[in-house]
Amino acid sequence: MHAITYETPKSLDEAVKLLAAHGEKARPLSGGTDLLIQLRAGTRRPDFVVDIKRIPELTRISFSLQHGLRLGAAVPCIEIHENGDMRKYYPGLTEAAHLIGSLQIQSRASVGGNLCNGSPAADTTPALIALGAQARVVGPKGERMVPVEGFCLAPGRTVLQPGELLVEFQIPAPERHCADAYLRFIPRNEMDIAVVGVGAALTLDMSDDRVVEARIGLGAVGPTPIFAAEASKSLIGKTLDAAAIDNAARLAIAASSPIDDMRGTAEYRRHVVGVLTRRVLAKAAERARQSDQR
């Protein structure tokens, strides 16, 4: 019988030591909504499971308009949704976190776990990419910052080296007339996994309704979540009219590289990238224009 040692470090130091000592044989446990399934299915067979939910840095949300957001990697999604600052300043990331599974799942699942699982279909990752989030990683050799769009390498694989732990996300404070949004397509209305996910963050110059800053993240349409750089860049300095949006949608489709699988064909996914990009830009713009009221 395969036995697993369960560790519950109380500090970052302790956690990193444990992870470094056991290398590939250890796997961090946040909410467990991916890991437990992988253990049962036998697709991962770690000897050590390191529960990181008792480490203070990983389980807190801190926000200020001066310093922006620090979101602990193991904060359960439900706490994000229940946090007034999150809802107000990062509605796109909040709605992405609130789309994952049921309330029960959201009470366990975390944004950090969502990213570290390395699935291209993770709902919160395109939203993080749109916000320009940086991942703070701590390991035996010190710490480093990784932009979220560079975090995943392949399905199930990330930049994390043995012994390294994702601690938190750092996201700049939102400017005036800046807002984000996230939309995903699923065949059902809930309890499903993204066939396509698109996150967008826009900053507008309200004097002439031009785009000052734009970032678009794509999910489930490539081996990793994608930052649609060309599509994002194409919007900057433009008025957000139908032509600009269509052009960005076209460039987002070009940035995607989906495959055929049971959740949808590549052809279908490309089409839906265009549809959702148009819809999510409209939604983010709407929010940005109304951001004075927040």
Partner 1 sequence: MAASTTNGFRVIGTRPIRHDGVDKVTGRAKYGADYAFPGMLHGKVLRSPHPHANIKSIKVDKALALPGVKAIVTSADLPQMPDKMEAAGEQAINLNHLSANILARGKALYDGHAIAAVAATSPHIADEALRLIEVEYEPLPPVMTVEDALKPGAPILLPSLRNKEEGPDKETNVAAHLQFKRGDVAEGFKQADYVIEREFKTAMVHQGYIEPHNAIGIYNADGHATIYCSTQGSFVVRALSAAVLGLSEGKIKVVPAEIGGGFGGKTTVYLEPLSVLLSQKTGHPVKMTMTRAEVLRATGPTSGSTIRCKMGATRDGKIVAAQCWLAYEAGGFPGSPVGAGAMTILAPYNIPNILVDAYDVVVNRPKTAAYRAPGASNAAMASETVLDEIAEKCGLDPLDIRILNGSHDGTPQTVGPPFKRIGFIETLEAIKNGEHYKSKLTGANRGRGVASGFWFNVGLQSSATVNIHTDGTVSVVIGSVDIGGTRAAQAMIAAEVLGVDINDVRPTIADTDSIGHTDVTGGSRTCFATGWAVYEAAQDCIRQLKERAAKLWEKKPEEVVFQNGVFSPTQANGVKPMSLKEMAPRLARTGGPIVGRATVNARGVGPAFATVCVDVEVDPDTGKTQILRATIAQDVGKAIHPSYVEGQMQGGMAQGIGWALNEEYFYDDRGILRNTGLLDYRMPTCLDLPALETLIVEVPTPGHPLGVRGVGEVSIVPPPAAVANAIYHAVGVRMTELPMSPPRLLKAILKKRAAGETQAAAAD
Under the rule (CB under 8 A), what is the footprint of partner 1?
Answer: 1-2, 41, 185, 187-193, 195, 261-265, 267-268, 271-272, 275
Q: What angle do CA 214, 178, 144 make, to 5 degrees?
A: 65
Shortest separation between residue 159's beta carbon and partner 1, angstroms: 27
| Cβ-contact 252, 277 below 8 angstroms | yes
State the Cα–Cα distance between residues 231 and 248, nearest whole angstrom: 5
Shortest separation between residue 4's beta carbon and partner 1, angstroms: 11
Instruction: Tell me if residue 87 falls in helix, strand or coil.
Output: helix
> What residues are paired with 239 via a beta bridge?
210
Shortest separation between residue 37's beta carbon and partner 1, angstroms: 9
Instruction: Tell me if residue 76 falls in helix, strand or coil.
Output: strand
Instruction: Tell me if residue 97 falls in helix, strand or coil.
Output: helix
Question: Would you put residue 29 in left (φ > 0), alpha (ψ -120 to 50) or beta?
Answer: beta
Q: What angle do CA 31, 35, 38 make, to 5 degrees?
A: 155
* CB closer to partner 1 out of 1 and 145: 1
* CB closer to partner 1 out of 24 and 190: 190
* CB closer to partner 1 out of 193 and 212: 193
* CB closer to partner 1 out of 204 and 272: 272
What token pair was written down for 42? 């036998």
Shortest separation between residue 269's beta carbon and partner 1, angstroms: 9
Cα distance between the two ends of the chain: 56
* CB closer to partner 1 out of 48 and 63: 48
Shortest separation between residue 40's beta carbon and partner 1, angstroms: 8
